[in-house]
Every structure is written in structure tokens, then in C-alpha cells.
Amino acid sequence: MDLQLEGKRVLVTGASKGIGLAVVRAFIAEGASVVATARRSTPELAATGAVFVPADLATADGPVKLVEAVLGQDPRLDALVNNAGGGDDRPDGMYEDPFSGDDDTWANVFALNLNAAVRTTRAALPALAEARGSVVNISSSSARAPHTAPLPYSAAKAALNAFTRGLAEATGRAGVRVNAVTPGATRTDLLVGPDGLVAGMAAHLGVDHAALVAGLPEQFGMVSGDLVDPGEIARAVVLLSSPAMPSAIGSNWTVDGGQLKSA
């Protein structure tokens, strides 16, 4: 299938590892020109050949400065993938007490998971409209099952879903398609790495890290029996970004191994 992405210019945030890195690789495999951003690059990202522009998107002016730098290199922009995100990774009481985080915790989580996407999209929208391009926001299954993650993160991702759907209505007639992808529990360093969320939980509970990781699919009700591979998320993102999918507007594609049970 020709996804018509050859020569298209794409900006991917949170691109240094995990889902973002997989997205970069997938676009490059389709012949797209990728600009990748994160606070810091990684050897894996450098090896892709993507153009790297450092940015801290959790700051108020970080997204605008990023887009200005990207468009200053080349005014074309055909697709934006808002993948930058994360949460408060402290395991202590994060499920038992929904307000274990203070105001700064909530503000920081919303800054990275919602505000960064809003500000980056707003800055990039004129260029995307010129190209009749697309935006894909990376959400989380916790937005629809908020008991499965710290509440600030779940709430921020739920807000991102509302932003995605509302913006799709506002920009669709102008030719900018906006969609989201909802991953379930995904095999990334953020979740299962040696310094990831599960490692912190294992230390807190006094259990073996590898055993806790192995039990995650069953714990989350994933009928696939395995965590989601980042490459699967990337394939959904590339397809939603493709001009070959002009009717995909305001959708939210779930890739979760059957984790979410609602129809």
C-alpha cells in the first residue's frame, strides 16, 4: 500500500525513545523527512538520521520556540505527532490516594501531557493548514480507565482526547485532519525499564521486577497475553497521518491488546 508519505515533512515530539522513536523509524521507512524533538537526543534516535531539534515542551514558550526553529529550517510541515508525555513516577500511594500529588505535580503532568500538545499544535497549525496536513495525538488507555494510572496522568490524557475531538471539528473543513491513538500498556522503558514505573512499584512492594512485568498483561486484562510493541503504535500513527486516509477525522484508534473492555 502506498501511504503517500514519500517526501512529506513530519515533526515528532517525545522522539528520543519508546513510542516516539518507533514513530520516527516508521515515517522514515515510508520515505518521509522527519524532524524529531525531545529534551535530549539518544544514540538510537541519532541512528535514524532524523533532524534533531532539542526542546522542553513542558515550558510555556518551549513549543513556540520549537515550531519556529523547525519552520525556520523549512517552512513545509505536513504532519505533527504529539507524543511527548509522561507522569509522576513515584509509586508511593499513587493509586491509594488520588491527591498524593501536590499542585505542582498536577501542573507539571498537565503541562507535558496536555499543554505541550495544545501549544505545539497551535504554533504549527498555519503550516499544517497550508499543507492540508494532519495531527496525531498519543493518548493512553488510562484516559478511559483512570484507575489504572496515577490520576493526574489519566485526567490529562482524558483532556487530550477532548482536545483532539474538538479540534478535529474546528480544523477538518480547513483540511487539517486531527486524530488520536490510544496505546494500552506498552513495552517501553518508561513502563518496564530498569528505572521505569514498574521498577519503582516493584521496589515499593518488595517484589521481583521481572515477575511483576511478566504479570502485567494479565493484570491489565490484555487478551493478547503480551504488552503492546511500540512499533504497533507507530504503524497506527503513520496510517492516520497518511493522505490515503482522508476520512479519518476526529477518530481515536485503540491499540491495547484488548485491555479496554467498553464497546
Q: What is the pLDDT of residue 97?
A: 66
User: Mean pLDDT for each 10-residue chunk of the chain (263 residues)?
Assistant: 96 98 98 98 98 98 98 98 81 57 90 98 98 98 88 94 98 95 92 85 87 91 95 98 97 96 80
Task: Give all strands (DSSP E) within 76-193, no chain letters.
Answer: 79-82, 134-138, 177-183
**Cβ contacts of residue 133 below 8 Å, gap of 6+?**
77, 78, 79, 80, 127, 175, 176, 177
Q: What is the DSSP letter of 228?
A: B
- Note the maximum CA span of the chain: 54
| Domain assignment present for 205 | yes
Q: What is the pLDDT of residue 171?
A: 97
**Distance, CA of 79 to CA of 36 (rounded, Å):** 12
Tell me, yes or no, whether 94 and 133 share the same domain: yes
| Domain assignment present for 247 | yes
- Which CATH number do you get for residue 151? 3.40.50.720
| Domain assignment present for 261 | no
- Rounded alpha-carbon distances, angstroms, from residue 152 to 180, 185, 195, 198, 225: 19, 17, 20, 18, 28
Q: What is the pLDDT of residue 155?
A: 94
Q: At what angle do helices 151-171 and 116-131 cross, to 10 degrees?
A: 20
Q: What is the pTM of this model?
A: 0.94
Tell me, yes or no, whether 109 and 160 share the same domain: yes
Cell numbers that stand for 250 in this block: 476526529
| Domain assignment present for 175 | yes
**Distance, CA of 212 to CA of 111 (rounded, Å):** 30
Is 153 in the active site? yes
174: left (phi over 0), alpha (psi -120 to 50) or beta: alpha
Write down how long the chain is: 263
Q: What is the pLDDT of residue 203?
A: 87
Question: Count of domains in the chain?
Answer: 2
| Domain assignment present for 213 | yes
Q: Which domain holds residue 20?
A: 9-186+229-255
Tell me, yes or no, whether 102 and 19 share the same domain: yes
| Whether the Cβ atoms of residue 191 and residue 197 lie closer than 8 Å to each other | yes
| Domain assignment present for 260 | no
- Specify the DSSP element, H or E, that contains 126: helix 116-131
Tell me, yes or no, whether 49 and 151 share the same domain: yes
Tell me, yes or no, whether 18 and 102 share the same domain: yes
Active-site residue, from 110, 153, 163, 220:
153
Tell me, yes or no, whether 206 and 132 share the same domain: no
